[in-house]
Amino acid sequence: MAGPQHDTTAPRPTSRDVARAAGVSQATVSLVLGGKWHGRVAERTAERVRATAKELGYRPNLAARNLRLGRTRTALLVVPALTNEFFARLHTGAARVAARHGFSVVLYPSPDSVSPSGHPTQTPRVSDPFDSARAALDGVLASSMASDALATLRGDALPLVMLDSDPTHSLGAATVNLDIADGTRQLAAHLLALGHRDFLHLAADIDSWTFHVRRDALAAALRGTSATLRTSKAALTVDDARTATEAALTATGPRPTALISDDDVLAAGACKAARRLGLHVPHDLSVTGFDDLTLATAVEPELTTVRLPAEDFGEQGMATLLAVLDGHTPRPEPLPVHLVVRGSTAPPPTAQRPAPR
């Protein structure tokens, strides 16, 4: 048997109809259905309004509402690459908070910029979204690694929250960060406690604030100790990391016993280099990563790394943008990060073998 048929010719119920049926004002209906009733409308009243709206089949006229508010409830998330797992997780968190507030999040990769691999992106050139759709955006979330493209696209003319960026020179109204420096300090403390004193820093060859922080924090953590620190740079790919590590490990002088990578991808390349040179990780060489990507547990041994709460990061970024859009100037504290110790680190070898040739 067919279900009940709705009269499609009947006029759509309005907020006034909902208010009358629920016994409240239109302003109360607007607050409840707009998600801004907390602290202003009793929970029992809010539930009655929602139930009444559902019973009447009321659907808000979003176009009219947005026109009245001067908002489209759309945010742009500008990232260096769409294929990077960290930024995918970040988007998941941002979209989750956005959805709770009736917003949508559009992902936009930096065009003709530098990707997290350290190489120019292969993303086809696309039209400037700020020229063609400025009126369709309420605000922007952008990673520091996309800041050059952001300025070129003039996205900083919109309400902007920067992510993973220097708070003292930020383009945005607010900045949300992870405590990257503390993550680096945790790594250094772990390796020093194991007894390592000969370090190699496999650094991402990218001119970005987040990688500058890792470099400076590592140098500061080892300052005042008997440790030595050398640096080798590589683009953020496994092959480039392998090549750079092989060169560093076969250079003249004492071989490092601990290798600190700026990223899990670099660490994976370092592990490949060690195997090719006949070295065992971690007994001959301890290797650490950063980010705790899926890759960290796919390699053998599994990587000791720093876990970055990417989804929480996206959530806080979006919450901060919403606060900026409401006229506030939030200054959130950096999100904590955590050392995850796995099988790729161990005490250094008691007798240093000569560098392999």
Q: What size, in residues, is the chain?
A: 357
Residues with Cβ within 8 Å of residue 195, at least 6 apart in sequence: 347, 348
Banded model confidence at residue 79, pLDDT cuts 50, 70, 90 = confident
Instruction: Examine residue 115 and state whether it is found in any structural domain, yes or no.
Output: yes
Q: Provide the residue range defining the domain that includes 28.
A: 15-60
Q: Are residues 213 and 251 in the same domain?
A: yes
Instruction: Examine residue 39 and state whether it is found in any structural domain, yes or no.
Output: yes
Distance CA 270, CA 15 (A): 62
Instruction: Examine residue 325 and state whether it is found in any structural domain, yes or no.
Output: yes
pLDDT given for residue 151 in this prediction:
57
Instruction: Examine residue 226 and state whether it is found in any structural domain, yes or no.
Output: yes
Q: Are residues 154 and 272 in the same domain?
A: no
CATH number of the domain that 42 lies in?
Answer: 1.10.260.40
Q: Are residues 174 and 248 in the same domain?
A: no
pTM as predicted: 0.74
Q: Are residues 301 and 184 in the same domain?
A: yes
pLDDT given for residue 132 in this prediction:
46
Instruction: Examine residue 280 and state whether it is found in any structural domain, yes or no.
Output: yes
More confident residue, 338 or 46: 338
152-200 pLDDT tens trace: 554 556 788 999 998 888 778 899 999 999 999 999 999 999 999 999 9
pLDDT given for residue 71 in this prediction:
59
What is the domain count for the chain? 3
Instruction: Examine residue 246 and state whether it is found in any structural domain, yes or no.
Output: yes
Burial of residue 141 (number of CB atoms within 10 Å: 0-12, 13-18, 19+): buried
Of residues 198, 247, 249, the one with CA closest to residue 227: 198
Q: Are residues 79 and 96 in the same domain?
A: yes
Banded model confidence at residue 38, pLDDT cuts 50, 70, 90 = confident
Q: Are residues 84 and 166 in the same domain?
A: yes
Instruction: Examine residue 194 and state whether it is found in any structural domain, yes or no.
Output: yes
Number of H helices and number of E strands within the chain? 12, 11
CATH number of the domain that 250 lies in?
Answer: 3.40.50.2300
Across 334-338, average pLDDT: 97
**pLDDT > 70 in the chain, percent:** 80
Instruction: Examine residue 355 and state whether it is found in any structural domain, yes or no.
Output: no
Long-range contacts of 122-129 (CB under 8 A, 24+ apart): 123/81, 128/153, 128/154, 129/76, 129/153, 129/155
Residues with Cβ within 8 Å of residue 293, at least 6 apart in sequence: 85, 86, 264, 265
Beta strands at 286-288 and 258-261: parallel, antiparallel or unpaired: parallel
Residues paired with residue 199 on neighbouring β-strands, in sequence order? 229, 258
Q: Are residues 85 and 168 in the same domain?
A: yes
Q: Are residues 99 and 187 in the same domain?
A: no
In this structure, what are the phi and psi dihedrals at residue 305, rounded to the nearest 5 degrees? Answer: -155, 180
Q: Are residues 174 and 82 in the same domain?
A: yes
Distance CA 272, CA 308 (A): 24
